[in-house]
Structure 1
Amino acid sequence: MSQLGFRITHQYGLSETFGPSVYCAWKKEWDSLPPESKARLHARQGVRYIALENLEVVNTKTMQPVPPDGKTIGEIVMRGNVVMKGYLKNPKANEEAFANGWFHSGDLAVKHEDG
C-alpha cells in the first residue's frame, strides 16, 4: 500500500465504545526504518482515543494491569463517556460486560513498553 502512496492507520475499537478506541500514531522517525520494522509498528495500536476515559489490558482474575512486556496476555477493558450504557433488555449480558466498573471487551491483547 505504501508503494501506491497510501498510509494506513491501524485502529482498534468496538461499536459499544463508539468506534475507534486506540490507534497507531505513526511517528515521522519511523519512515526511515526497514520494511520489517515498519510492518511490526504498523500492526500495533497504543494511543487512546481522547474521549475514552480509560483503556487497560488486565489480568482477568485480578483486574490488575498486565506488565508492558509485549508477552503477557490480558483482556482489553474500557470506561468513559463513549462507552455504551448497556445491552437492551439483557441484564445478564450487562452484568458480565460491566463487571468491576469496566466494560469488558472480551478481546485479548498485550502491552508493549512504548505503549
Structure 2
Amino acid sequence: MFEPYDEKIMCTVGSSGVGIILISPEGFVVEYALRFGFQASNNEVEYEALLAGIRLPHALKVDSLVHSDSQLVVNHVLGDYEAKDERMAQHLQLVKTSASKSNNFTICQIPRDQNT
C-alpha cells in the first residue's frame, strides 16, 4: 500500500472548475484540472473538487489525504455541521459514498492562504 498523497485542492478564479495537485511522499507531482459544463456555486465547486480528490486517488489505488480550505465542506464531511440545503446534502451524500470506497480517506481544513 502506498503512503497517503498530500492532496491539495484549489478553485480557479472566474470559471467553474478546479485544480487538484497530488504529491507523493517521494515528491512526485501530478496536476489535474477539471472544468465544469454547468453553473456552480462556490460551495458546489468545493464539493466537486472534493469528489474528484477522492475519486482520483481511488482510481490510482492510493490512500487519500484531502486538504481543503472550505470550512463548510470539511465540517459537513466531519459531521460537525449539518447540510441543511438540499443541494449541499446531495453533494455530501455523494462524498460519503465515494469516501466509503476510498483507501484510508482523511480530510482536514487548511487556511485559504496555504491552498495555493
TM-score per shorter chain, which class?
Answer: 0.3 to 0.5
For CA contacts below 8 A with separation 6 or more, give which structure has more relative contact order. 2
Higher alpha-carbon Rg: 1
Structure 2-normalised TM-score?
A: 0.32
* Bigger share in helix: 2
